[in-house]
Amino acid sequence: MPFAKVEGVIQQLLGSDKPTERLIGLAGFAVHRRDPGQPLVRALTDSDLRLRGRALKACGELGKTGLLQKILQSISVADTACRFYASWSAARLGDRSAQLVTVLRDLAMQPNSHAERALDMALRVMDLNDAKAWHSQLKSDPSRLRLAAIAAGIIGDPALVEGRIEVMKLPSVARAAGAAFSMITGVDLAYDDLDADAPEGFEVGPKENPEDENVALDPDENLRWPGPDLVSTWWKKNGNKFAAGKRHLCGKEISDASLWETLAKGYQPQRGAAALELALRQPTQHLFEVRANGGQQVRELKS
- Cβ(51)–Cβ(40) below 8 Å: no
pLDDT of residue 203: 77
Kindly indicate the confidence band of residue 148, based on its pLDDT and cuts at 50, 70 and 90.
very high
Kindly indicate the confidence band of residue 201, based on its pLDDT and cuts at 50, 70 and 90.
confident
pLDDT of residue 221 exceeding 80, the answer is yes
pLDDT of residue 215 exceeding 60, the answer is no
pTM: 0.93
- Mean pLDDT for the chain? 95
pLDDT of residue 214: 52
Quick: pLDDT tens for 83-138.
999 999 999 999 999 999 999 999 999 999 999 999 999 999 999 999 999 999 99
pLDDT of residue 208: 56
pLDDT of residue 21: 98
Query: Can you give the chain as a three-state secondary structure string?
Result: CCHHHHHHHHHHHHCCCCHHHHHHHHHHHHHCCCCCCHHHHHHCCCCCHHHHHHHHHHHHHHCCHHHHHHHHCCCCCCCHHHHHHHHHHHHHCCCCCHHHHHHHHHHHHCCCCCHHHHHHHHHHHCCHHHHHHHHHHHHCCHHHHHHHHHHHHHHCCHHHHHHHHHHCCCCCCHHHHHHHHHHHHCCCCCCCCCECCCCCCCCCCCCCCCCCCCCCCCCCCCCCCECHHHHHHHHHHHHHHCCCCCCEECCEECCHHHHHHHHHHCCHHHHHHHHHHHHHHCCCCCCCCCCCCHHHHHHHHHC
pLDDT of residue 157 exceeding 90, the answer is yes
239 vs 214, more confident: 239
Q: Please state the separation of Cα 211 from the chain's center in Å.
A: 35
From CA 92, how far away is CA 79, in angstroms rounded?
20
Quick: pLDDT tens for 240-298.
999 999 999 999 999 999 999 999 999 999 999 999 999 999 999 999 999 999 999 99
pLDDT of residue 39 exceeding 60, the answer is yes
Name the residue among 144, 145, 156 with its Cα closest to residue 180. 156
pLDDT of residue 92: 98
pLDDT of residue 207: 55
Give the number of other Cβ atoms within 10 Å of residue 189's Cβ.
Answer: 22
